[in-house]
């Protein structure tokens, strides 16, 4: 693509909003002339960046918020009718063009809605509390795992038993806990289960049992009594697991457990 090269690295920057405004304008102009390569890259990096907020602690909008939004929609629709059938060229439909009285009425209606909604959801929320408490424990653990200073991450690879398998483990020695994600592990026959082992000095300690779904994925929080495992391995065991490994190894970490490759700032940076 002629003229593409100067823009080749811009997609990733654009996806996180890091282009300066004049650069963004030039990039948009470049996209507008139909650079398929940049468009594709931008879509891909935007998809990766858009995953970031999923890691945020999920906060529910306040009660009644949805109803207020729907009231806005109705007001907007009424103000700009017919809303969709007629293309309006050359001018923008004013979005907020209602009188103060209408707005006040809507606000009151929304507030009443909110009250009703709060009461009706109370019971539902009460039922969810027990479940949430457990999930809160899990969330806290994960958040602390990620921010923990000693947390390490290591890739896992399949052995010939599960050649396509891959994944990674995040481990916090101080918490004796971690998080594992595996992909493309074969489904096992009934009566068999994958078992994870944390191995220190050649001694494997059981670190959890899991099944994979139909495409070979699994993710789970793991814990083990081992403090400084130098290896993790996944074996195929009878359902329910064994105190020490008996079956074939399906996965193991490719390199010894090690810290992130960011030695430069690990100790010096203090923005936590």
Partner 1 sequence: MATLPGLPRLPAPERADGLTVSPPAIGSQAASADLVGEMARGERSALERLYDRYGALVYSLALRILGRPADAEEVVQEVFLQAWRDAERYDAARGTLRTWLVTLARTRAIDALRAASRGARRAEVPLAWDAPDPEPTRAEGIGDREIVVGAIAHLSFQQREVLDLAYYQGFTQTEIAARTGLPLGTVKTRIRSALERLRDALCPRPDSP
Residues 69-108, one symbol each (x = binds partner 1 by CB under 8 A, - = not), give xx-xx--x------xx------------------------
Burial of 54 (0-12, 13-18, 19+ CB in 10 A): exposed
Q: Please enumerate in sequence order all residues whose Cβ is within 8 A of that of 91, keeping only pairs 6 or more positions apart, or say none.
A: none
Sole binder of partner 1 in the list 1, 28, 44, 187 (CB under 8 A): 44
Residues 219-238, one symbol each (x = binds partner 1 by CB under 8 A, - = not), give xxxxx---------------
Q: Residue 67 phi/psi, 5° resolution?
A: -65, -35
**Which residue, among 177, 237, 236, has the nearest Cα to 207 in the 3D structure?**
177
Interaction residues for partner 1, span 193-212 (CB under 8 A): 208-211
Closest to partner 1 by CB, 170 vs 233, is 170
Burial of 117 (0-12, 13-18, 19+ CB in 10 A): middle
User: Minimum distance from CB of 202 to partner 1 (Å)?
Assistant: 23
Q: Judged by CB under 8 A, does residue 181 bind partner 1?
A: yes
Residues 108-147, one symbol each (x = binds partner 1 by CB under 8 A, - = not), give -----------------x--x--xx-xxx-xxx-xx-xxx
First to last CA, the chain: 44
Closest to partner 1 by CB, 3 vs 272, is 272
| Cβ neighbour number for residue 211 with a 10 Å cutoff | 13
Q: Cα–Cα distance between 261 and 152 in angstroms, integer?
A: 10
Interaction residues for partner 1, span 146-165 (CB under 8 A): 146-147, 151, 153, 155-158, 164
Q: Judged by CB under 8 A, does residue 4 bind partner 1?
A: no
């Amino acid at each position: 693509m002629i003229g593409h090269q100067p823009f080749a690295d811009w997609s990733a920057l654009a996806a996180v909003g890091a282009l300066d405004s004049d650069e963004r304008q030039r990039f948009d102009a470049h996209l507008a002339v139909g650079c398929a390569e940049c468009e594709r890259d931008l879509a891909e990096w935007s998809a990766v960046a858009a995953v970031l907020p999923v890691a945020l602690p999920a906060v529910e909008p306040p009660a009644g918020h949805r109803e207020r939004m729907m009231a806005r929609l109705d007001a907007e629709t009424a103000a700009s009718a017919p809303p969709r059938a007629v293309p309006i060229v050359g001018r923008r439909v004013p979005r907020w063009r209602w009188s103060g009285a209408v707005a006040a009425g809507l606000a009151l209606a929304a507030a009443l809605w909110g009250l009703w909604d709060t009461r009706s959801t109370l019971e539902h929320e009460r039922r969810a509390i027990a479940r949430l408490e457990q999930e809160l424990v899990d969330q806290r653990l994960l958040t602390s795992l990620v921010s923990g200073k000693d947390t390490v991450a290591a890739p896992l690879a399949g052995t010939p038993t599960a050649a396509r398998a891959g994944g990674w483990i995040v481990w916090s020695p101080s918490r004796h806990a971690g998080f594992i994600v595996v992909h493309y592990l074969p489904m096992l026959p009934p009566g068999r289960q994958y078992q994870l082992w944390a191995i220190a000095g050649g001694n494997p300690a059981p670190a959890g049992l899991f099944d994979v779904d139909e495409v070979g994925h699994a993710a789970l929080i793991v814990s083990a009594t081992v403090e400084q495992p130098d290896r993790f391995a996944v074996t195929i065991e009878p359902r329910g697991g064994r105190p020490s490994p008996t079956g074939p190894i399906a996965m193991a970490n490719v390199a010894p457990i090690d810290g992130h490759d960011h030695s430069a700032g690990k100790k010096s940076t203090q923005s936590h």
